[in-house]
Amino acid sequence: MLDRYFIRPTTIDRIRSSWIGGAIEEYVNWLAAHNYAARNVFIRVPLLLQFGESARRAGATTLAELPAHVDPFVNAWIGRHGRQYSETQHQAALRGIRGPIQQMLRLTVPQLFANSGVPEPFSDVAPGFFDFLRRDRGLRETTLVQYRQYLGRWQNYLQRIERPLLPNLPPAVVTAFITESGQTLDKRSVQSLCSILKVFFRYLYRAALAARDLSKVIESPRRYRFANLPRSIPWDEVERMLKSVDRRNVIGRRDYAVLLLLTTYGLRGREVAALTLDDIDWKHSRLDVRGRKADHSTAYPLTPTVGEAILAYLQNGRPETDQRAVFFEAYAPHKPLSRVAVTMRAKHYLHRAKIDVFRPGSHTLRHACVQRLVDAGLSFKTIGDFVGHRTPDATKIYAKVNLKALREVALGDGEEVL
């Protein structure tokens, strides 16, 4: 495969004569199989040769010893070339140097990384907790991410103050942790933290690991329904954002279709990411959205604008693959677009259009879609069914920003709208 990229036999010989030449060639074959652009090979192979030579001079003789030499090599490389970099460029350079090396090592010596994942919080004292969440409570992996995040904070706090979790932790320690967390987390996040801690402490008590049930001493902060406004933006700003997309390239064609799905149907980011080719019925101009948050499916009419945008991406942008997902990452290895990526693309175009909104992302555009339906005078039941709200209460918050209805309520006899 090397001769596919390098014309001179001497170059190929030099690569193969390196003591890690076999690993480099295996990595090049992997890059080709995953449709990486040729420029990636031309940039990464010289870097890997330098890394191999640096590790050899430092005493490495086997591939198993290479991981210990990654950071010294990266730091030395940045030291030689990074003085003129800004902080952003510096971080990008770190990723650009370390990434290919670690990618090659994961491919060629995978056993070194088999157990390299971060252990779940409190796996030493409560090893069955996350299995309990999966098996007995049926939580999704996306929900377990929150449990890992907040319990990780709790574990780090206990380590910092040198307090053991079991068998009998004073309630004051829990209160102090929640109070400290409230200084950096918003009220919604503190509520989530308290809920997760309650589940955790109830499990410890029922599993006879803790002497008392500390969940009873946790009091979540009070949040009032409809206390916040939706994160919607006016429709003219939505149109300005859509106009900012450059559809002359693959990324622009993909992102334009994604943004139209978010704004036209009010889909969630994960619903856009989960769309497959089987969900688009071209013959009957229908779009099926399955497995929504409320555990139901919705069929939408496929509007010409949305259909043309998706078709433009499918014909001139979507990589050749046997996977059924609609949207893919633009660069090899071309994995399906994730819900996080959908949110980040929405955030990118909101910033590009200079639209200032709290917590910009895909949900901003979902709120904008709902707000447009409210302004059009549709009932909240109809709107809730359209966007897949689980309960009517989820839609009622938009009554607070229905300016026309609020004016009618406020007006008295003989008064005029200012």
pLDDT 10s digits, 257-280: 999 999 999 999 999 999 999 999
CA–CA dist 186, 221 (Å, integer): 10
**Identified catalytic residue from 253, 254, 363, 367:** 363
Annotated catalytic residue within 14, 16, 293, 381: 293
**247, 366, 367, 372: the active-site residue:** 366
DSSP helix, strand, coil percent of the chain (3-state; round to 5): 60, 5, 35
Active-site hit among 69, 254, 292, 389: 389
- pLDDT of 297 higher than 90: no
Name the pLDDT band for 397 (thresholds 50, 70, 90): low
Residue 396: pLDDT band with limits 50, 70, 90: low
> What band does 198 get if pLDDT is binned at 50, 70 and 90?
very high
Q: Is the pLDDT of residue 417 over 50?
A: no
pTM for the whole thing? Answer: 0.64
- pLDDT higher than 70, residue 329: yes
**Mean pLDDT, to the nearest integer, of 94-120?**
77
Task: Look at residue 166 and tell me whether its pLDDT is greater than 90.
Answer: no
Amino acid at the residue 349: Y
> For 69-73, 218-222, 297-301, which range has the lowest pLDDT when averaged over its residues?
218-222
| Residue 135: CA count within 13 A, CB half-sphere | 5
What residue spans of 333-402 are helical by DSSP H? Answer: 339-352, 362-375, 380-387, 393-396
Q: Residue 414 pLDDT more than 50?
A: no
pLDDT band per the 50, 70, 90 thresholds, residue 184: confident
Q: How far apart are CA 102 and CA 104, in angstroms?
A: 5
Catalytic residue among 98, 253, 268, 372: 268
Q: Architecture of 235-360 per CATH? A: Orthogonal Bundle (1.10)
Three-state DSSP state, 358: coil
**Rounded mean pLDDT, 213-236:** 75
| Catalytic residue status for 293 | yes
Check if the beta carbon of residue 30 is closer than 8 Å to that of residue 100: no
Helix axes 9-17, 21-33, angle to 10 degrees: 120
CATH class of domain segment(s) 129-217: mainly alpha
The stretch 96-121 carries a mean pLDDT of 78
Q: Alpha helices of 185-303 — where are they, by DSSP H? A: 187-206, 235-243, 250-265, 269-273
**If pLDDT is split at 50, 70 and 90, which confidence band does 315 have?**
very high
Residue type, 383: I
Lowest model confidence (mean pLDDT) among 156-170, 190-204, 375-389: 375-389
Catalytic residue status for 98: no
Average pLDDT (237-254) is: 94
Sheet holding 280-281, edge to edge: 280-281, 286-289, 298-301
Start and end residues for every CATH 1.10.443.10 domain found in the chain: 235-360
Residue 216, pLDDT > 80, answer yes
Q: Is 398 a catalytic residue?
A: yes
Average of per-residue pLDDT values in the chain:
85
- Where in the chain are all domains bearing CATH 1.10.150? 129-217
- Token pair, residue 303, equals 């509007």
Q: How far apart are CA 16 and CA 23, in angstroms?
A: 9
Quick one: pLDDT band at residue 219, thresholds 50, 70, 90? confident
